[in-house]
Amino acid sequence: MKHHHFHHLLLTLLLLLPCLGYAQCKNYAKKVCRLELSPYIHDGNYNAAVLTEGEDAELFKTFYAGQEYRLAVCGSESIPRVEFEVMTVDRRVLYSNAAAGYASTWTFNVEATQQLIIVVRVPVRDGTPDDDLASGCVAIMFGLKVD
């Protein structure tokens, strides 16, 4: 069980670091996922990591009142669709893309400046043996509406 927690912590740290050592994943985020933000302006951060089926990772980010945001979560073709949730720091789910047909973007405002948690998860395809689990890049990108 300790190994699982260490692995989860490692994945979280990888998402928080802007793709150090993951040039291909960062490139994927720039070339593919960033397009999902249009017409919103990218905030300049590339949050991406390589995840394997069955893994999840979390990203904490502060959002400011009075701003309109677009969140885009993209996964490379080598992995099944990516699930994501946006939660408050007390783990109350504000949005789940699983409840929205696995949409890759969510556009939203916050009423008050607050930190939110974005959880990304790569589900295991039904009937996939452990030694055949696929890995791929998962990117989380943010855009701001500019008037």
Give Dmax over CA atoms of the chain in angstroms. 50
Q: What pLDDT shows up at residue 8?
A: 55
Q: Which residue has the higher pLDDT, 129 or 38?
A: 38
The confidence band for 38, taking pLDDT boundaries of 50, 70 and 90, is very high
2-144 has which fold? Jelly Rolls (2.60.120)
Mean pLDDT computed over 97-113? 94
List the domain boundaries for the chain.
2-144
Per-residue b or e along 26-64, where b marks 16 or more CB atoms closer than 10 Å to that residue's CB: bebbbebbbebbeebebeeebbbbbbebebbbbbebebe
Euclidean distance between CA atoms 134 and 117, whole angstroms: 25
The confidence band for 14, taking pLDDT boundaries of 50, 70 and 90, is low
Tally Cβ neighbours within 10 Å of residue 124: 16
Q: What is the Cα 69 distance to its own chain's centre?
A: 14
Q: Which residues share a beta bridge with 84?
A: 120
Q: What pLDDT shows up at residue 21?
A: 40
